[in-house]
Amino acid sequence: MKKEQYLSNLLYVLIIMACCQIILFQNIIAQNYNKVQNIEYKVGFLGVPDNPVVNWDDANISKMKEIGFNVMQLNIAWGSRPNDEALNLEDIVDVPKQFILPMDKNLSKTLRTGDKIEARSEKLRQRISVCRRNGMRTIFHFGAPFVGFPPQQTEPLPQCIMDSVTINRYIKLIREFGKKFPGVDDLLLYTYDQDAWLCSENGPCPRCHGIPVANRVAAFVNTLAREWKKINPDGKLWWEPWELSAGEVYSAADLLDSTCVGLSIHSNIAEVQIAFPADRWFKNINYLAWKRNIPVIAELWMGCPTEELEPFTHIPAPLLTLQALRAVNSAGALKGIKEYYGNVPDEDDPNLRMTQLFFHNAGISDSSALAELAACYGEAAEGVKEYWKLASEAVAFYPWDVSWHARETGRSDPQHLMTAAILKGASWNTPDWQSSRRTYFMRTDENNEPNFWMREDMQLRFEQTAYLMSKAIKAADSVKEIIPSIYKTEFNESVKELTEFRRRVLSYEYHLHETNLTDNIRSSIKLGLPKKDRLKNISELKEILIKDIENQQSAEPITSALKLLDNDLNRFLKTYFLPSKTTNSKGDWSITSN
């Protein structure tokens, strides 16, 4: 064979091999999960931060089983400690004397009195009992190392995970927990945010300086997991690596002990967000865990109550719920799917009923699921389907990605300030907030003026959201009189809440639009453009301000602004929609008011 022919054949073989490797790699990355898989663990829990008092009784646990849940988280584990729910091991287990710190002494007089620890412990025992009686697996969720939120102490933190005293304290606490609460199967641990915190590798802690957080936290998690496995050989410690950057989570995953540690992860690197499930990070960490035989639980919203909408708890988005479940289900090998906010099974919840349909038939189509979901509404079914479809679309179109403060929408004040609209960012001093989350939120720590085009972008997106909401409300109104009585209370509440959500969306839309129109008028004067060019902007501004009065349900301060706009344009321009210093007078959640 000639040399040239040999080299040609060799090149051909190499190309074929390379193509095969690429195909193989793609199949590995996909893990062939572009198909339905059966999830072993379906994890729920009773109560939500804005409605924490939900009975842990046989009736509600039976409803959870009927939905398809087979594992129960035993506590709400939310930073605000709703209804005095346990958030840390120290809330239900006495700290041994040799490990007591000054902060423990202080809290023993307030948060952790003997009576409060015992009351929480009794509540936990009762929940364990009802779960065991109904064949439910159990998980207790806690944060460690406890330092309080935000950590008031400078580094080194009082419970540094590189300090052997801290390690020994948590080994002892886990042993005591196991003795005190037999019947708990698994532990779910978070190590950053709320009342837990870690030292930085470039901070003043002499133990942690220069040591990557992934190395430190993986060792800490492994130690606690191994201890729990000694107590409960069939149990597992699930680690929730929130607030770590994407890269740190990847690195830590390579260091975890797969014999006793599982991962419980948000459905994207930024947050649990109904509109952005199963991002690239989620798929990557699933792949890394799969390679190392580490089981993964995916966390998302499965009912109407969510942190994104609180304190609203009835806004329906069942199609979006189904699509989120489907997205995480097909993104990689999962051991479980877990509710992140909580469940209220004794109220009608179309999102939760959609979760039930998915749990029993993960391959169900949108149209079949919607038809089955609405069938119980009888003659109102078609109108209800249209309502849910449009409400789902509206929640999907809402710009959750503009800022973390765009969530908790019910806490926003529809009466915005009359200064220039901003888009209020949010951020904290954690690895994820200072890195990965900046790729998910347009605004992180800014309170300064956004660009004209960003204002316009958000205005148009809020406008589209409000339009879909108005169509959804119209569809609901068309059948509200024929809704079966068993569903009427929750249905009417959902329409009421969606109407209030729309008011907030319109407030944002109007404020942004008013600001840009006023800026256009100013620039028209500054540029010396013909008066007729700005008359259209002035006319449009008046129309928006009139709509704003109706939406705010208050004549002032907009009526005075309108009068000034009519009588003295220059004074209006020097008074309204100008950049301002931060006041936060409308609170964190009114994102257009500085």
- What does pTM read for this prediction? 0.92
∠ CA 381-387-390, nearest 5°, is 140
Identify the three-state secondary structure at position 246: helix
The closest alpha carbon to 187, from 115, 124, 120, belongs to 124
Q: Is the pLDDT of residue 420 over 90?
A: yes
Predicted confidence (pLDDT) per residue in 557-583, tens digit: 999 999 999 999 999 999 999 999 999
Average pLDDT rounded to a whole number, residues 70-77: 98
> How far apart, in whole angstroms, are the C-alpha atoms of residue 582 and residue 585?
9
Average pLDDT value for the chain: 93
> How far apart, in whole angstroms, are the C-alpha atoms of residue 92 and residue 111?
11
Count of other CB atoms within 10 angstroms of residue 343: 28
∠ CA 81-253-306, nearest 5°, is 30
Tokens of 543: 């129309």
Count of other CB atoms within 10 angstroms of residue 439: 13
Contact indicator for 159, 220 with CB cutoff of 8 Å: no
Query: Which DSSP symbol is given to 34?
Result: S
Lowest mean pLDDT among 31-45, 381-395, 452-466: 31-45
Domain ranges of the chain: 398-575
Contact indicator for 250, 272 with CB cutoff of 8 Å: no
Identify the three-state secondary structure at position 165: helix
CA dihedral 71→77→81→84, nearest 10 degrees, is 40
Identify the three-state secondary structure at position 558: helix
> How far apart, in whole angstroms, are the C-alpha atoms of residue 293 and residue 261?
10
Predicted confidence (pLDDT) per residue in 262-316, tens digit: 999 999 999 999 999 999 999 999 999 999 999 999 999 999 999 999 999 999 9
Predicted confidence (pLDDT) per residue in 482-533, tens digit: 999 999 999 999 999 999 999 999 999 999 999 999 999 999 999 999 998 8
Average pLDDT rounded to a whole number, residues 172-195: 96
> How far apart, in whole angstroms, are the C-alpha atoms of residue 336 and residue 469?
33
Contact indicator for 314, 350 with CB cutoff of 8 Å: no
Residue 187 phi, psi dihedral angles, 5° rounding: -115, 145
